[in-house]
Amino acid sequence: MILAANLKTNLTREKTNKYMKGLERFLDESKSAQEVYVFPATSSLDKYTKNVVVGAQNAYPTLNGAFTGEIGLEQLEEFGIKTILIGHSERRHILGETQEILVKKFAFYKEQGFKIIYCVGEPLNIREAGHDVMMNYISAQYEGIDTEYENLIIAYEPVWAIGTGLTPTLEEIENIHKELKKKSPAPILYGGSVKVTNAKDVLALTSVDGVLVGSAALYLDHFCSMIDDAEAIEKIAGEK
Ligand code: PGA
């Protein structure tokens, strides 16, 4: 399964290094077969070439140039980064990224062969407007995106569940993932208040291929425990 930690605007470079060392040690010792990603703050990017795949939380669709405050492909290449998060709800709703901008980012980094974790998800008022409104809203987030791209991973993250401690029910997650799987053959992660206490249940759902974790992943032991959960679930499934 896929376990991705989005560290957002947290941890210094020093603390990120410590985190990565601890995570690598855990993966070496546990011999986990899970696919693990970490998205550190831009200032903490570095060359990490062991078990964990390091990705960028954001980058501008350019090699380099005059885009104050942004980084481009050249800055990612310095650290061998080939993975990027696109469309995270905080970029859409706090930083104001439109679907048009996200489509440009997607096309640019796809052209470069990047692994793309593309996030979709609805705000609370849209969810409350009913199932069809919600699915239309999410469908619009697929517009302009190559859903057949072989290096694509989708993350379904309801905006109202991110950082709030609220989550949809397991049944709701399963149903939405099933519908989203009709739109793309890409694996789908669930994200939004995944914690040590609910990770196992979420990971055990048949339509969930992994999790994208924010706040809980800041605790290395919590993130490692989720990796263990995924490992245990795969083992049981393999024995069946
Ligand atoms: P959360 O964030 O786990 O803190 O809800 C998830 C995310 O934003 O990817």
Ordered by start, the domain boundaries in the chain are: 2-239
Q: Is the minimum distance from the CB of 168 to ligand 1 under 6 angstroms?
A: no
d(CA 43, CA 50): 20
Per-residue pLDDT of the chain (240 residues; tens, 9 = 90+): 999 999 999 999 999 999 999 999 999 999 999 999 999 999 999 998 789 999 999 999 999 999 999 999 999 999 999 999 999 999 999 999 999 999 999 999 999 999 999 999 999 999 999 999 999 999 999 999 999 999 999 999 999 999 898 899 999 999 999 999 999 999 999 999 999 999 999 999 999 999 999 999 999 999 999 999 999 999 888 876
Q: Whose CA is nearest to atom 2 of ligand 1?
A: 214
Q: What is the pLDDT of residue 240?
A: 62
Question: So which residues are the catalytic ones?
Answer: 88, 157
**Residue 197: how many other CB atoms lie within 10 Å:** 10
For the domain covering 2-239, report its CATH number: 3.20.20.70
Residue with CA at minimum distance from ligand 1 atom 7 = 214
Q: Which atom of ligand 1 is nearest to the CA of 192?
A: 5
pLDDT at position 239 is 77
Write out 151-215 in H/E/C secondary structure.
CEEEEECCHHHCCCCCCCCHHHHHHHHHHHHCCCCCCEEEECCCCCCCHHHHHCCCCCCEEEECH
Cα–chain center distance at 113: 17
- Does the beta carbon of 191 sit less than 6 angstroms from any atom of ligand 1? yes
In this prediction, residue 32 carries a pLDDT of 94
Return the HEC string of the chain: CEEEEECCCCCCHHHHHHHHHHHHHHHHHHCCCCEEEEECCHHHCCCCCCCCEECECCCCCCCCCCCCCCCCHHHHHCCCCCEEEECCHHHHHCCCCCHHHHHHHHHHHHHCCCEEEEEECCCHHHHHCCHHHHHHHHHHCCCCCCCCCCCEEEEECCHHHCCCCCCCCHHHHHHHHHHHHCCCCCCEEEECCCCCCCHHHHHCCCCCCEEEECHHHHCHHHHHHHHHHHHHHHHHHHHC
Tokens representing residue 37 in the block: 């990603």
Of 229, 221, 237, 238, the C-alpha closest to 19 is 221
6 Cβ below 6 A of ligand 1: yes
- What pLDDT was estimated at residue 237? 87
Q: Which structure tokens are listed for 50?
A: 């062991």
